[in-house]
A and B are shown apart, each in its own frame.
Chain A
């Protein structure tokens, strides 16, 4: 859509702004931005699965929880350095996701959504059940990591940069994966899995792998959140977390990389605005926001931007009669 050059400029500008933020914002605001990046990583994971591969998951909070608990237990019980827990959480979630993806292969659409949904419901209960490891419903209190090498950064600023770095690496990897050969295979399976298989794509393998990679992204996000919040408890990973991630994914724009970031901003800040508007029923306001958003942008923020971009370019080329039925029936692909 956008040329490579334009895109690179936009990304670099955004990065420059992101690097300047820690020195202008309060610690609390900064923590909110850290949380946005964490959500963005998790949503990108969900997006790979739901947006690009067409497998619905209503249970990604489960992988987020697993990632968070792997990290927390390693830090709390075995005193492992937090930096090591993040890749371990990623790899373990990859395995768990792959294994969950194998039986899930047989399920389509709604049935997969329900299976993952019940996974999201079950995980907090399972966490409470294994009290010895997880601290039960009390959870585990952790300490915030501080900046190494005597860098002049407070823990919030340091965590912000760690998260940003992980985000950049994972988005870069994700973009390469999704825009390359593997990405084409994944999308081909979504659009027409029989045709994809006829062209030699091993659809079973790719679907389970997508599940695994998707879970790994979300697990890494969970591990980061354990350090960022310095506390894990089963009830913070309830089913609403999964639903929030899905909301972020759809609002941001399915099948889009930049959409994950838009969606993360939405789920982090819009509930706060709702709270500012109505103390009595903030969630009602949030619900209204959600519905209005879907009316205005049924293809999410990334989809709306893309349509505007196309329209702007087209109107420069020629005046084409406007038609009501131009909205694409399939979410447009690629960022």
Chain B
């Protein structure tokens, strides 16, 4: 199987500061991959590099298309949806308007109602909040909205940045259950950045471990889960 996303020698800069020092990895279509690592390891930066939100060197190829010469808006049009760190809610707009915006960069036209039905089936709570200002939602609901907004694109690749951050364990489990469903029903490939390693290892089939801007370990999640170093550092037992 050829790779959906192929990253080679990726370096990223904030001003003069280098945040990634040659990250390489590839993802096959249909899988769930997670990037683990401590704070400041470069997890978020990796996602931002794919979405062209930081200055980079190296190559990122998505389904045969090179991403480096593109701007964020065009990356979205290739079918890469990014639910960013901090959720990026349009707080002044209603839930429905947030979702409509999610479909803005969609290539295929077709009716929005179908997509509304689909995301409301995953997140019924959003349906009941449809006309409410998104800023009034709870943290968990806003996270669901972020994922739902990303799904409105009918993405081929979904980039998720810490969907568990600041949420109650029950809500987190719910969101992860839905992510698995999204992956299985619609065949959406997911790249997940997560600090909650136990959860991420459960969901993902492939894992990369990032340390100070470098990939230090990678492999199938069943294998890495049994690795002593990973267990001590990230799973805490």
Contacts and interface: CB of A to CB of B under 8 A. Distances in A.
Interface residues of A, number: 5
Interface in B10-33: 13-16
Interface residues of B, number: 5
Interface in A297-335: 320, 323-326
A324 B55 contact: yes
Contacts of A326: 15-16
Nearest to A320: B16
A323 B55 CA distance: 10
A326 B55 CA distance: 12
A253 B84 CA distance: 37
Provide the main secondary structure of the chain B interface.
strand
Q: Is the interface of A mostly helix, strand, loop or mixed?
A: helix
A122 to B, nearest CB: 35
B215 to A, nearest CB: 23
A308 B15 CA distance: 18
A326 B15 CA distance: 6
A319 to B, nearest CB: 13
Contacts of A325: 13-15, 55
Contacts of B14: 325
Contacts of B55: 323-325
Contacts of A323: 13, 15-16, 55
A326 B17 CA distance: 10
A150 to B, nearest CB: 62
Contacts of A324: 55
Nearest to B16: A323
Nearest to B55: A325
A320 B15 CA distance: 12
Interface of A: 320, 323-326
Going nearest first, the 6 A-B pairs with the smallest beta carbon separation are A325-B15, A323-B16, A326-B15, A326-B16, A325-B55, A323-B15
12 contacts: A320-B16, A323-B13, A323-B15, A323-B16, A323-B55, A324-B55, A325-B13, A325-B14, A325-B15, A325-B55, A326-B15, A326-B16
